[in-house]
Amino acid sequence: MGLIVGTAFILFIMVAFAGTAQETVVRSPVVTTENIEVVSDFPDFQRKTSTEETDTYYFSISTILTKSEPINQYIQMWTEKERDQFLAFVEKNKRNFHEEHLAKLHITVHLNAVTDDLHTLTFNVKNKKTEPRDGIKIFNLDLTENKILSLIDVFHLEDSNLVGFCSIIKEYIPDASSQGERLEELFKRPDQINWQINQNVFTLFLKDHDPFIKVEVPVERLRPYLTENMMTRLKLAPPEELESTLDPNGKYIALTFDDGPSPAVTPRILETLKQHQAKATFFMIGNRVQYYPELAKQVAEEGNEIGNHSGSHANLSQLSEAQIWQEIVGTNQIIEGVIGHSPVCFRPPYGVYNPLVEKVASENNAQIILWSVDSLDWQERNAEGVNKIVQETIFPGSIVLLHDIHPSTADALPTLMTELENQGYQFVTVSELLTLQGVSGIGPYYGVSN
């Protein structure tokens, strides 16, 4: 410490000497103080506050001392850099400052425990009457590994992940900010970013208009990008394994209805399901949910599951990653806006997907669900034909592809369900069926049991 005070003092002498050569004003000497105290509630940490005053400037710099020397040195480098920049500024503009008008620098620090060995230091820099440098600086301390955490210790930020990762962040940036545009560039230099994380929220402080904007993203949303180490360190529970309430020896099938909701057909199908006390899964198109939100809501309220069937029924394998993102995540958001939660099942239009679609789906915890029985209702367009095809190809554990846009499908359903019931089948949602198969997590499912 003596060294720092000494350096500052020498600097002062030089400044004073240079000044007195032309001026007759008698300068007061530099007055320094240094105070070290234990941080309340944190016995392992000390707060050190240094102040310095001359007749041109005043600064007060607080920092936190940990038991880790490498961490202390790293932080000290930063506080010294802030101080030196301030002093250089004062030196350059010293004519502007005098006892009545001191240049002032205040650096305060707040310590926060995330877990036993992860702590966050938030420095607030107030630099009045100099350049507009007010701001914050955050250090995330890893006291087990004796280092300052970098964002790449927390997230997998390889180039291939940046589109998805940044798309999620953008969802949480206020509309008024232009920061979304350059986010991907920003994350290519993650050490420039002020951030903090706890079990629930990842917080970013982006420079914008004065002084910064705070972006809070639920950690759960970013889980696909978290490093394993960070998951352990944050003590995040693994994704919930759904307990199955179904009888392991039961004959279950999942009826699925795609491309709706449609006011002409969906209500008729709901009526039949209700009569059979059955549940089904409706893979809805985002655009149509926007047209018929009440109908979508009714489908969910009657105990059925709503899945994502893209926003515009495009062939996703021909789209860019950003477009696929819009088709899948945009639709999740539309559905969430209507029924209060995001779908967990996703069926790509035409059953067509490629590795990019799989990647975007997995980054959004959307399971890709195809089908094991194709009713061909889109081709047959007559109730008897649909009935015949389904009954000839059905087996326990099937996922049956139907469409709630063809009246003939609604015509087929009462007989189909009655006859299947007579064979001992029970109708459940896709998610329920998957719990029976002991399958949860992320990936494509075809409904093929065993």
Nearer to Zn ion, 219 or 265 (CB): 265
> Is 258 considered catalytic here?
yes
Q: How far is the CB of 313 from Zn ion (least distance, A)?
A: 6
Question: In this structure, which amino acid lies at residue 303?
Answer: G
- Does position 53 bind Zn ion by CB under 5 A? no
Q: How far is the CB of 297 from Zn ion (least distance, A)?
A: 21
> Is 313 considered catalytic here?
no
Task: Single out the segment in contact with Zn ion by CB under 5 A; choices: 67-75, 257-265, 316-324, 353-361.
Answer: 257-265
Both structure tokens of 338: 């209507």
Beta strand spans in 251-350 (E): 252-258, 281-284, 305-308, 345-346
Contact 60, 67 (CB under 8 A): no
Nearer to Zn ion, 313 or 388 (CB): 313
**Using CA atoms, how far apart are residues 345 and 169, in angstroms rounded to an integer?**
22
The count of chain residues that interact with Zn ion, using the rule CB under 5 A, is 3
Beta strand spans in 259-385 (E): 281-284, 305-308, 345-346, 367-369, 373-374
Contact 107, 125 (CB under 8 A): yes
Beta strand spans in 25-99 (E): 31-39, 42-53, 57-65
- Does position 258 bind Zn ion by CB under 5 A? yes
Question: In this structure, which amino acid lies at residue 344?
Answer: V
Task: Single out the segment in contact with Zn ion by CB under 5 A; choices: 221-229, 254-262, 335-343, 370-378.
Answer: 254-262
| Residue of 55, 142, 258, 377 marked catalytic | 258
Task: Name the DSSP class of 283.
Answer: E
Q: How far is the CB of 346 from Zn ion (least distance, A)?
A: 12
Contact 313, 285 (CB under 8 A): yes
**Best CA proximity match to 334, nearest among 126, 171, 444:** 171
Nearer to Zn ion, 55 or 259 (CB): 259
Nearer to Zn ion, 52 or 259 (CB): 259
Q: How far is the CB of 119 from Zn ion (least distance, A)?
A: 50
- Does position 259 bind Zn ion by CB under 5 A? yes
Both structure tokens of 249: 């020896």
Contact 46, 64 (CB under 8 A): yes
340-399 binders of Zn ion (CB under 5 A): 349
Nearer to Zn ion, 79 or 367 (CB): 367
CA distances from 184 to 159, 317, 408 (A): 9, 24, 49
Contact 289, 313 (CB under 8 A): no
- Does position 404 bind Zn ion by CB under 5 A? no
Nearer to Zn ion, 190 or 444 (CB): 444
Helices (H), 58-188: 69-92, 151-154, 159-171, 183-187
Q: How far is CA 227 from the centre of its chain?
A: 14
Query: Which residue has the closest beta carbon to Zn ion?
Result: 258
- Does position 82 bind Zn ion by CB under 5 A? no
Nearer to Zn ion, 259 or 305 (CB): 259
Q: How far is the CB of 285 from Zn ion (least distance, A)?
A: 7
Q: How far is the CB of 344 from Zn ion (least distance, A)?
A: 18
Task: Single out the segment in contact with Zn ion by CB under 5 A; choices: 53-61, 121-129, 251-259, 292-300.
Answer: 251-259
Please spell the DSSP secondary structure of 199-267, one letter per residue. SSEEEEEEE-SSSEEEEEEEHHHHGGGB-HHHHHHTTPPPPPPPPP-S-TT--EEEEEEES---TTTHH
Both structure tokens of 251: 């004959």
Contact 38, 45 (CB under 8 A): yes
Q: How far is the CB of 429 from Zn ion (least distance, A)?
A: 18
Which residue(s) pair with 440 in the sheet?
none
| Residue of 119, 309, 403, 406 marked catalytic | 403
Q: Mark residues 4-43: x for contact with Zn ion by CB under 5 A, - for none.
A: ----------------------------------------
Q: Which amino acids are annotated catalytic?
A: 258, 403
Query: What residue ranges bind Zn ion (CB under 5 A)?
Result: 258-259, 349
